[in-house]
Structure 1
Amino acid sequence: MTLTHPAYGQLRTVTPTASVLLANNPNQMTLQGTNTWILRAPGRSDCVVIDPGPKDREHSEAVARETDGNIALTLITHHHHDHTGGIDRLTKLTGTTVRAMEPEHLRGSVTPLTDGEIIEAAGLRITVLATPGHTTDSVSFVLDDAVLTGDTVLGSGTTVLESRDGALGDYLASMDRLLAVAPGRALLPAHGPDHPEAEPVLRYYIQHRQERLEQVRAALRELGPNAKPLQVVAKVYADVDKKLWPAARSSVKAQLAYLRSQQN
C-alpha cells in the first residue's frame, strides 16, 4: 500500500530521489510534525539527510535505521529546535557530518553553508538558496526535480515571520527567489504535506502575504498609526485560536515594521 501523509515513523517515497520520515511531534506550530527528508540518487546506497528533527530518540533511531547509517551529509534548513534537536543523537548513531548556516550546528565540518553554494554528495547536486524571513539563517535546498523549503514555505497554512525589522522585506525577496526556481520542481516542506508542483503554492503564499498586509493597513486606519502589534492581531486574527496569537504577533510586528519603513 502506498503511504500518504502523515505516516509517522515510516519512510514514505515522494520523488525518485526524496523520501520523508515524519517525526511524531505534532502541535499547533509543527502541524503534523517535522519532516526529515532522506535524499538518495538512483542506484546509490549513501544518502543526504535534511533536518534530523527534534530531540527524540525514537525518531533519530528511525533515521539511522532507514539510512543504514550511510549518511554522506546532513543539512540543516534553520536553527529551530524541532529541526536541530536530533543532531547529536544522529551524529552519535551514524557519524554523519552536519552543515548549517549557524556554526553551533556544525559537526565534522568547520564550514557554514553559503548562499549559492553547490553541494555534491551521494550522487546528488544540491544548490543552497538563502531564504530568510522565518529566521535569518533559513535556507532552502534546490534539487533537479524538487525544492526543500524548510519552514519558509509549509505544506499547509503559512509560516511565522521573525519580529525583527526587515523580516518581511527579506521574506518577500525569498519568495521571489523560490518562485524563480519553482517551475518543474516539487515542493518538499519541513512541515505538512508535500506538493508535486511548487509554483502554485508559492504564488498562494505571495498572494496571502499581500492580503495580510492589506488587512494590517485596514487595522491601522481603524486603530491609528501607532497601534500596538497585539491590537492589530486582535483585529486581523480574530478568527484564529488565541493560542496562536503570540506567533501571529511576531508576524504582525514584521509587517508593521515593513509598512512603517515604506513611509520613511
Structure 2
Amino acid sequence: MIFRQLQDPESRTYTYILGDVEAKEAVLIDSVSEQTERDFKLLQELGLRLKLILETHVHADHITGAWKLRQQTGANIALSKLSCIDMADQLLDDGETIYIGAIPVKTIATPGHTKSCMSFLFDNKVLTGDTLLIRAAGRCDFQEGSAEQLYDSITNKLFSLPDSTLVYPAHDYRGFTCSTIGEEKRFNQRIGGGKSKEKFIETMNNLNLAYPKKMDVAVPANLRCGSTDTL
C-alpha cells in the first residue's frame, strides 16, 4: 500500500493518495484545482493509475480538481449521495466498501459540517474531512450544517473506532498532520473530554467565523465537481 499526504499552501487543504502497488490503482481524496499537475505527476512517478477521485464533502474554501483529473485520467468522481450532485459518477451510501486494488475503503456518513460529509476508513486510518479536525471540529453555519448532527457523527461514529485509529483531516491551520481517535477523545477542544451535546452546540453556534474567502466561487463550482465551464 502507498499512502501520501499532500497540502495546498493557500487553503491548507490536505489531499491524500491511497494506492495498491500490485494492482497499480489509486484513489485521490480531496483534490485542489491548482494542485492537479502536482498530483498527476506524483501518481505517474509512483506507477499508479488513478481509478477514483473521492470528496469528503462539497468544499467552500477551494475548487476541487476532480473535474480536471477526470478529464485527464478518465477516473470516476465519487462522493456522498446526500450531495445530490448529478455530475458525479458515483453517489455513495453510508457503509459501502470501495476497493482500490485489494484495499477496502469503507464509507462512513458523518454529516454536520455539511449535510453530505463522509469519512473514509482503511488500514487503521480514517480520513475525516472537516468533520473531525485535529483538536477541533468543522464549522456548522452554512451548507445545511448542524452542530447537533456533527456531535452525533463524531461521538457515535468516529469515536466508536479503536483509539489507535489514525485521524487524517481535510485541513489543518496549526501545523499538525495527523492525530488518533484516542487523542481527540481526550484533548479535542470542542468535543473531547466527554463534553456534553448541549455545550458542544453552544460552542459551535458561537464561533462567529468569517465566511471562506472563495465560498461564492468554490461552492457553485464544487456542486459541478469542480467544473467552471458554465460559471
Q: Same fold (TM over 0.5)?
A: yes
Mapping for residues 12-91 of structure 1, pairs under 5 Å: 17-26=2-11, 33-53=12-32, 55-56=33-34, 59-68=35-44, 70-82=49-61, 85-91=64-70
Partner Cα distance (1:90, 1:168) in 2: 33
> How many aligned positions are there?
201
Q: Please name the residue that 2:140 is paired with.
A: 161
Q: Please name the residue that 2:220 is paired with.
A: none
Query: Residue 138 of structure 1 aligns to which amino acid in structure 2?
Result: C
Q: Is the 2:185–2:194 Cα contact (8 Å) retained in structure 1?
A: no
Which structure carries more relative contact order (alpha carbon 8 Å, separation 6+)? 2
Q: Please name the residue that 2:129 is paired with.
A: 150
Query: Residue 41 of structure 2 aligns to which amino acid in structure 1?
Result: R
Q: Is the 1:46–1:67 Cα contact (8 Å) retained in structure 2?
A: no
Cα distance per residue 1:119-170 (max 9 Å; x no partner): 1123210110000010000000011220000011123543211358881221
Gaps of 5+ in 1: 1-15, 27-32, 220-228, 248-264
Partner Cα distance (2:93, 2:49) in 1: 25
Q: Choose from 113, 127, 140 the match for 2:106.
A: 127
Cα distance per residue 1:224-263 (max 9 Å; x no partner): xxxxx9xx84xxx6xxxx7x3568xxxxxxxxxxxxxxxx
Q: Give aligned-pair identity as a percent.
A: 25
Q: Does 1:195 align with 2:175?
A: no
Q: 1:104 aligns to what SS in structure 2?
A: coil
Alpha-carbon distance change, 199 to 21 in structure 1, aligned in 2, over 3 angstroms: same
Mapping for residues 164-243 of structure 1, pairs under 5 Å: 167-176=146-155, 177-192=157-172, 193-203=176-186, 204=188, 205-207=190-192, 210=195, 213-214=198-199, 233=206
What's the TM-score, normalizing by structure 2?
0.73
What's the TM-score, normalizing by structure 1?
0.65
Shift of residue 91 of structure 1? 1.4
Query: Residue 3 of structure 2 aligns to which amino acid in structure 1?
Result: A
Alpha-carbon distance change, 105 to 90 in structure 1, aligned in 2, over 3 angstroms: farther
Q: Is the 2:110–2:117 Cα contact (8 Å) retained in structure 1?
A: yes
Partner Cα distance (2:38, 2:76) in 1: 18
Partner Cα distance (2:201, 2:85) in 1: 36
Q: Is the 2:147–2:201 Cα contact (8 Å) retained in structure 1?
A: no
The CA RMSD measured in Å over matched residues stands at 3.2
Shift of residue 83 of structure 1? 5.9
Shift of residue 198 of structure 1? 2.5
Q: Is the 2:167–2:179 Cα contact (8 Å) retained in structure 1?
A: yes
Alpha-carbon distance change, 154 to 117 in structure 1, aligned in 2, over 3 angstroms: same
Partner Cα distance (1:183, 1:208) in 2: 14
Structure having the higher Rg: 1
Query: Residue 160 of structure 2 aligns to which amino acid in structure 1?
Result: A
